[in-house]
Amino acid sequence: MSESDWTRGAAAVATLTFDVDAETPILAEGRHYADHPMVMSHQSYGPDVGVPRILDLLDEMAVAATFFVPGWVAEQRPGLARSIVDRGHEVAHHSYSHRAPTSLPPGAERADFVRALDVFAAQGIDIAGHRAAMWSASHETIGLVAEYGLAYDSSLMGDDRPYLVEGTHPPVVELPVHWSLDDWEQYAYLPEPRIGSVIESPIKVEQMWRAELDGMRHYGCLFNVCMHPFLTGRPGRMMALRNLISYAKECGDVTFARCRDVAARAREDVGTARRALPSYDVDPAVYPN
């Protein structure tokens, strides 16, 4: 195994990532929800209760993680990003407003992207990576990541190992994601706005993620799990996360890393795959809508 291999000899590399969305996904559905105390308290639980609880667990387990924070959230809570970085973790760009880039009018994605960078710059937070809101990257997104000198994106699903996204811009490392490793599909529920329908047992989620990790150990993959502090920060779910981390450590062939560190290793690895963004010339006679 080469020293430049992105896995550094591990069977799988685990990146624990936390999307600190707080109130932004709900406000993106409509700013009138700001007047709904139940809904807003459901979301504020994430940064106010979930994040400190997660940071304590990561300290206890001696694991570094990456927290994707919308600029609006960092702006509303000026000490939040610094509290994460000071504990040895990474803060990464997760838009400003948490509006999906594919839903924005021309020019709006750029403005939103830059506004978030300005917030982090004002707080002295070094940003290396990006994750699109709702993972809904547009054809402009990767170009913005490259233009503003970020090292990686984590929004696409073209592999289960890091790869380089090529285009007219310099190559960007992609740390791919997948719905099967997202706690939103397992735990999220609100009656209004309508989010989710079934709240799964943490025991089931832990078993499912263990199975995914075992498969990734077999195939030499990136176990890039996405969690939200307002969801996984709940007590029973935190126990499932603790058990998952313990299991990965007991395997003896899984390493944990921040996303920025995995991206740096993938860029150094000459074997990292290179791919362009999917692009199609779609015949409107075949697909009219």
Residue 105 in domain: yes
Residue 286 in domain: no
Cα maximum dimension of the chain: 59
Residue 66 in domain: yes
- The predicted structure's pLDDT at residue 181: 98
Q: Which residues of the chain have pLDDT under 70?
A: 1-4
Q: What is the domain extent for residue 125?
A: 12-270
Residue 219 in domain: yes
- The predicted structure's pLDDT at residue 4: 63
List the one residue out of 137, 102, 98, 138 whose CA is nearest residue 116. 98
Residue 1 in domain: no
- The predicted structure's pLDDT at residue 1: 45
As for how many domains the chain has, the answer is 1
Residue 285 in domain: no
Helix (H) or strand (E) holding 19: strand 12-19
Report helix, strand or coil for 227: strand
Residue 91 in domain: yes
pTM of the model: 0.97
Residues 106, 140: Cα–Cα separation, whole Å = 10
Torsion sign across C-alpha atoms 231, 234, 236, 242: positive
- We report the CATH number of the domain holding residue 220 as 3.20.20.370
- The predicted structure's pLDDT at residue 197: 87
Helices (H) and strands (E) in the chain, counts: 12, 10
- The predicted structure's pLDDT at residue 289: 85
pLDDT in tens, 255-282: 999 999 999 999 999 999 999 999 999 9
Residue 4 in domain: no
Would you tell me the crossing angle of helices 51-61 and 235-251 to the nearest 10 degrees?
Answer: 20
